[in-house]
Structure 1
Amino acid sequence: MTSSGDDTAMAGSSSGTEDVERPADVDLPANLEDVRSALIEWYEADHREFPWRETEDPYAILVSEVMSQQTQLDRVRPAFEAFLEEWPTAAELAAADRSDVVGFWSTHSLGYNNRAKYLHEAARQVHEEYDGEFPRTPQELQELMGVGPYTANAVASFAFNAGDAVVDTNVKRVLYRAFDVPDSDDAFERVASLLLPDGRSRVWNNAMMELGGVACGTTPRCDEAGCPWREWCSAYETGDFTAPDVPTQPSFEGSRRQFRGRIVRLLGEQEEMELDALGHRIRVDYTPDGEHGRDWLRGLLADLSDDGLVEVRERTDRTVVRLRE
């Protein structure tokens, strides 16, 4: 269980947000401290245990956040543990061959391979530009390769207790149902920031995501999970558990992303491959002059080349492909 660490502000103390103007389009409870205390107490009494919740190491937390993007947590756990066993520190990841890191990513089906590349580059930045010390604020963390506002805020929160409110799909669903927050990113950000207790971003953001993942999922489990917000929740009162619209992710099976992953995985096992040999290995219906032939394959390779992952070499009698070192 992750302790609140340097969470020095007590849940019942003034958070400094009571003087912030409340959104006119949201019906928040009168006493926000009761709302905050109820959620934190619920989370600290019992929550799912994940290895990234047992550490305040910013490197490990960054790895978990990058792996968790559009990947189910039950798949992330073994990959996370194996990754840290292979590269326990940012310095060791920085010294690794990129092809090994990308190969690991593909083998564990962790989604877009450029995330592995960016994670590798971020480790190099920390090692070379920051003398091995991670930046601590969301703004500074965004200077790292591939680290956007959400990931930067998560690392700042969970590693340094110095983040803003994290707003992911789970958090949006909770706020939409509990307090009738309009389905807009601006509204979600405003209300999430208002609810965040000063100095407690680590425990608060963990608790909010736990609430959305355990009690307020797609199928709500209000009573079974003992949701701490039932007395204030609009959805619980009305029985209307609709949720904000979530963009549908494209199917992975048969997608270009799937074939790009196959290419990287194969090249991780070979020094180089001839173009058509590669095509036949990644697709059973590959025909050089067909719909899924050389032009199609070159398009995939162009994407991977733009990401800095592969290089295509044109020789006199053939075309060969290899991972970029």
Structure 2
Amino acid sequence: MTDHDGTSSRGLAADDAPSLPADRDAVRTALVEWYEGDHREFPWRRTTDPYEILVSEVMSQQTQLDRVVPAWEDFLERWPTAAALADADRSDVVAFWSDHSLGYNNRAKYLHEAATQVGTEYGGEFPESPEELQELMGVGPYTANAVASFAFDAGDAVVDTNVKRVLYRAFDVPDDDAAFERVASHLMPEGGSRTWNNAIMELGGVACGKKPRCDEAGCPWREWCHAYQTGDFTAPDVPTQPSFEGSRRQFRGRVVRLLGEHEEIEIDTLGHRIRVDYTPDGEHGREWLRGLLSDLSDDGLVQIENGDDRITARLR
């Protein structure tokens, strides 16, 4: 509900969105009609299965969507249900994750444990609210809300990088997380999280990307958009992702992939296999590798065994 002075009973301050039009229903209708008229086809948009949606959300966290599609399909072919995933050997799940370059391998571990929780703590049925979904291992607020939205149509407004960019440009929302949350929540129709969240993320991904395609993509908000009217298409600051090449994340993936192919590997042999400049006593030698293995051990992915004359590593 909106007060006469333009503030919202849900906490929207007047200066959160200076360009937010008075006719919010027209804004909502324009976006939904644009989305329903034509949008990118991703297979997880054709399902309301919370397990399938959870897998897609976890895979998408640091991976381009065109690469997620075949990985998602392969994953579900191998483990089609949460129960099937829970029964799987965790090392197989981690190896799959690494083989498909899906980002941090501990996400595979958490997904496996979340599937186990669904069976042991929820009788095989996924919880439906964002709050309950956050009880699953590795499921944070954003992922919980996405699953609640797309599986159960019971989520809050999704606020990701794309949505922030849309709100910043269209309605002059300040670059402030709390302001983005309030405006996004105020704009979303009651009880319409599934379609709305898909639609506004599609707008950010297709029409309002880093390089805007307002006319080409037929952006439905052009008549209200502050950026379109002023020509100022700057965007909120986004933290720069560290380079993957040469990163600890890259070498963690190499370790897990290699250990998935062997029962166990001696530490120096492992070092030489994952980087060409490995020397036991060098900068990237045993001390560096032990630190890497220790991190993986803390994540529950790797087991380190100290023998009398050698150190070996294996997947848990």
1:254 aligns with 2:246: yes
Question: Partners of 1:284 and 1:18 in 2: how far apart?
Answer: 60
Match for 1:91 among 83, 89, 95?
Answer: 83
Structure 1 residue ranges without an equivalent (≥5)? 1-13
Question: Partners of 2:10 and 2:223 in 1: how far apart?
Answer: 23
1:82 aligns with 2:68: no
1:145-194 deviation per Cα after TM superposition (whole angstroms, max 9, x unaligned): 00000000000000000000000000000000000000010000000000
Structure 1 residues 316 and 123: CA distance shift in structure 2, 3 A: same
Contact 1:153–1:164 (Cα < 8 Å) also in 2: yes
Partner of 2:203: 211
Per the TM alignment, residue 18 of structure 1 is displaced from its structure 2 partner at its CA by: 6.4
Match for 2:170 among 178, 195, 217?
Answer: 178
Question: Partners of 2:177 and 2:107 in 1: how far apart?
Answer: 24
Question: Partners of 2:141 and 2:12 in 1: how far apart?
Answer: 24
Match for 2:288 among 283, 296, 309?
Answer: 296
Give the AA of the match of 1:23.
A
| Matched length | 311
Q: Mapping of 1:1-325 within 5 angstroms?
A: 19-20=9-10, 22-25=12-15, 26-27=17-18, 28-324=20-316
Q: Secondary structure at the match of 2:132?
A: helix
Per the TM alignment, residue 19 of structure 1 is displaced from its structure 2 partner at its CA by: 4.9
Question: Partners of 2:12 and 2:55 in 1: how far apart?
Answer: 36
Question: Partners of 2:22 and 2:138 in 1: how far apart?
Answer: 40
Per the TM alignment, residue 15 of structure 1 is displaced from its structure 2 partner at its CA by: 10
TM normalised by structure 2 equals: 0.97
Question: Partners of 1:308 and 1:19 in 2: how far apart?
Answer: 46
Per the TM alignment, residue 116 of structure 1 is displaced from its structure 2 partner at its CA by: 0.4
Give the AA of the match of 2:119.
H
Contact 2:130–2:144 (Cα < 8 Å) also in 1: yes
Partner of 1:10: none
Contact 1:15–1:197 (Cα < 8 Å) also in 2: no
Structure 1 residues 292 and 19: CA distance shift in structure 2, 3 A: closer
Question: Partners of 1:162 and 1:85 in 2: how far apart?
Answer: 27
Give the AA of the match of 2:271.
G
Q: Secondary structure at the match of 1:311?
A: strand
Contact 2:2–2:9 (Cα < 8 Å) also in 1: no
Per the TM alignment, residue 71 of structure 1 is displaced from its structure 2 partner at its CA by: 1.1
Per the TM alignment, residue 316 of structure 1 is displaced from its structure 2 partner at its CA by: 1.1
Contact 2:11–2:182 (Cα < 8 Å) also in 1: no
Question: Partners of 1:310 and 1:138 in 2: how far apart?
Answer: 31
Contact 1:15–1:198 (Cα < 8 Å) also in 2: no
Contact 2:277–2:284 (Cα < 8 Å) also in 1: yes
Question: Partners of 2:44 and 2:139 in 1: how far apart?
Answer: 18
Give the AA of the match of 1:274.
E
TM normalised by structure 1 equals: 0.94
Structure 2 residue ranges without an equivalent (≥5)? none
Per the TM alignment, residue 20 of structure 1 is displaced from its structure 2 partner at its CA by: 4.1
Contact 1:301–1:312 (Cα < 8 Å) also in 2: yes
Per the TM alignment, residue 23 of structure 1 is displaced from its structure 2 partner at its CA by: 1.8
Contact 1:122–1:144 (Cα < 8 Å) also in 2: yes
Give RMSD over aligned pairs: 1.4
Give the AA of the match of 1:24.
A
Question: Partners of 1:280 and 1:308 in 2: how far apart?
Answer: 23
